[in-house]
Amino acid sequence: MIFEGLNEKFQNIFSQLKRKGKLSEKDIQEVNREIKMALLEADVNFKVVKQFTKNIGERAIGQEVLSSLTPGQQFIKIVKDEMTTLLGGEIERMDFVQGRQNVYMMVGLQGAGKTTTAAKLANLLRKEKKFKPLLVACDVYRPAAIKQLEILGDELKIDVYSEHDVKDPVGIAKRGMQKSIEGHYDLVIMDTAGRLQIDEALMDELVNIKEAINPTEILLTVDGMTGQESVNVANEFNRLLDISGVILTKLDGDTRGGAALSITYTIGKAIKYIGTGEKLTDIELFYPDRMASRILGMGDVLSFIDKAQSMMDDEKAKELEEKFRNQDFDLNDFLDQIKQIESMGSISSLLEMMPGANKKALKNVDLSGADTKKTEAIILSMTQEERHKPGIINASRRRRIALGSGTMVADVNRLLKGFEQSKKMMKQMSNPSMAKKGRMKLPFM
C-alpha cells in the first residue's frame, strides 16, 4: 500500500534482509531507496532525507554491516543510532533556573497548540517542580483567545494575567511580569498569538516581547502533522528569536512525525516536550531514542512503561500481576484500570504503543475516555457475582443491567466484548515469549 506505516515498511525491509543473511552493496542501495521513500512519506524534509540516507549508506557499505554475522540487525542498529543522533542524541531537559524566575514564551504558527501547551506546562511543572505558575495572555488578536487561557487557568486553578481591552501585547507582557514579581510567581508562561514566520510586523512584535521580558525559554510549538515546511518555519523563528527548544504537539494522532527529525536537524535545537492529547495532562518529555524507535517500528515501549508506571502504584501492580497469573482479572479490576488509565488516554492508545500489538484487533477494543462514565455505570449495575464471573451474564441479565445503568443492551455487549478482548490482550502481553520478543518488561510482569 502507498501509505502504509513507516513502521511496517521498515519491518518489511528488514525482515527481507534478515532472511537473506548477508548484504550486498546493491542490497544497501535498495534498502536506502526504500528508507528514503518511507521517510518522505513520514514527512521528513527532503533534504534531510537525502543526507540521512547518504550517511547510512556510507556507514553500512563502509564496514560493520557486510562483514557482520547478522547484517539485518546491524543495519537496524545503524539506522536507529543515526536517527537518534539526528533527533538530538541525549535527552535535553529544560533548564530550570534557581533563584530567579523562569519565564517562558510560547511561539509558533496559528493553531499549533500554544495556548493548550502553555496550560499543560504550567500544570506539569507545578506538580513536578513545585513552581507557582502564572499564565500571561498576550494573544490580543484571535477571538476569545484570552478567554481560552482564562478558562484553562480556571480549570487548573492556575492564575492568569490578562487585560481585556488592551491591544498591546508587549505592554501586557511587561505588566504580567510586574504582577508575577509582586505575587512571587516563580514560573511565568506567556501565551502569544499564532503567526506566520513571514509576517514581519508580528515577528517584530515577538522580538519586542522577548526584549521586554527576557525569557529563560522560548518554546517553538509545532504541529506534529506538519509536512515539508517544518524546516522553513523552525528556521525563521529560530533566526529571529533564537528559540531555546521545540514542543511537538498532536502526536496522539497517527502522524509519523517526520517533522521531529527535520526540525532538530535543521536548527539544532532540542524538542523538549511532546503533546499527546487535548487533555491538560497530555504532555510528555521528548526522548530522541523513543522517537527513533517509534519511527522505526520498534514500538514505543519505554513511553508505555513510563506512563504505566507513573499511573500505577507498586502495590496495585503486584496485585494485578497476581491476577493475570491466576486468570483472576475481573470486571472490578477492569473498572479500576479504566479509571486509572482514563487520565492518560485510551487503553487502546496505550496498547497501540506495544510492539507486536495487533492493530486490527485493537480497533475493536474501544475504551476511550468518553466511555468511562458509561462503563462505570454499567459495571456498577452488575452484582458482585456478575462482575467476578462475567460468563454468567445472559440476555436477561444484560437487559437488567442496561436498564439499571441507563444504557442500551448493545452498550453492555460492547463492554463485555471489550473486557474479553483486553483480557486476551493482556494475557498475550504477559506471555514471556512475546515479552522477550518485544524486549519489554511491564511494571506488572
Partner 1 sequence: MELSLYERMRNKLLKTADNFKEKIENVMYMGSFDDDFFDELEETLILSDLGAQTSVKITESLRAKIKETRSKSKEEVMGFLKEILVEMVQVETEKPQLPTIMLVVGVNGVGKTTTIAKLSERYKKEGKKVVIAAADTFRAAAVEQLDEWARRVGVDIIKSTTGADPSSVIFDAIGAAKARKADILICDTAGRLHNKVNLMKELEKISRVINREGDGFSIHNLMVLDATTGQNAINQAKVFHDCVEIKGIVLTKLDGTAKGGIAISIIDEMQIPIEYVGIGEKSEDLIDFDPKKFVDLLFE
Ligand X SMILES: Nc1nc2c(ncn2[C@@H]2O[C@H](COP(=O)(O)OP(=O)(O)OP(=O)(O)O)[C@@H](O)[C@H]2O)c(=O)[nH]1
Q: Which residues bind Mg ion (CB under 5 A)?
A: 114-115
Q: State the minimum distance, in angstroms, from the CB of residue 46 to partner 1.
A: 5
Q: Is 359 in the site for partner 1 (CB under 8 A)?
A: no
Alpha-carbon dihedral 324, 391, 350, 432, rounded to 10 degrees: 30
Per CB under 6 A, the segment of 159-167, 273-281, 303-311, 428-436 that binds ligand X is 273-281
Our CB check for ligand X shows the closer of 114 and 269 to be 114
Question: The C-alpha cell of 247 is what?
Answer: 514542543
Q: How many residues does the chain have?
A: 445
Which residues in the 131-160 window bind ligand X by CB under 6 A?
Answer: 139, 142, 145
> What SS3 class is residue 88?
coil
Q: Is 366 in the site for partner 1 (CB under 8 A)?
A: yes
- Bridge partners, 245 (sequence order): 219
Q: How far apart are CA 57 and CA 34, in angstroms?
A: 12
Q: State the minimum distance, in angstroms, from the CB of residue 137 to Mg ion.
A: 9
Our CB check for Mg ion shows the closer of 166 and 410 to be 166
Question: The C-alpha cell of 58 is what?
Answer: 556510507
- Bridge partners, 307 (sequence order): none
HEC string of 139-186?
Answer: CCCCCCHHHHHHHHHHHHCCEEECCCCCCCHHHHHHHHHHHHHHCCCC
Q: State the minimum distance, in angstroms, from the CB of residue 267 to partner 1.
A: 8
Q: State the minimum distance, in angstroms, from the CB of residue 326 to partner 1.
A: 31
| 96 DSSP assignment | P
Q: Is 369 in the site for partner 1 (CB under 8 A)?
A: yes
Q: Is 368 in the site for ligand X (CB under 6 A)?
A: no
Q: State the minimum distance, in angstroms, from the CB of residue 402 to partner 1.
A: 18
Q: State the minimum distance, in angstroms, from the CB of residue 368 to Mg ion.
A: 20
The pattern of x and - marking residues 231 through 270 that bind partner 1 according to CB under 8 A reads xxx-x--------------x-xxxxx-xx-----xxxx--
Which member of 143, 164, 167, 360 binds partner 1 (CB under 8 A)?
Answer: 143
Q: Tell me the pairing of strands 217-223 and 133-137.
A: unpaired
Q: Tell me the pairing of strands 187-191 and 217-223.
A: unpaired
Please choose, from the candidates 131, 114, 113, the residue with its C-alpha nearest in 3D space to the C-alpha of residue 122. 131
Our CB check for partner 1 shows the closer of 223 and 386 to be 223
Which residues are within 8 A (CB) of 438 and not within 5 positions of it... i.e. 6 or more apart? 299, 301, 354, 355, 356
Binding site for ligand X (CB under 6 A): 108, 110-116, 139, 142, 145, 193-194, 196, 221, 249-250, 252, 275-278, 282
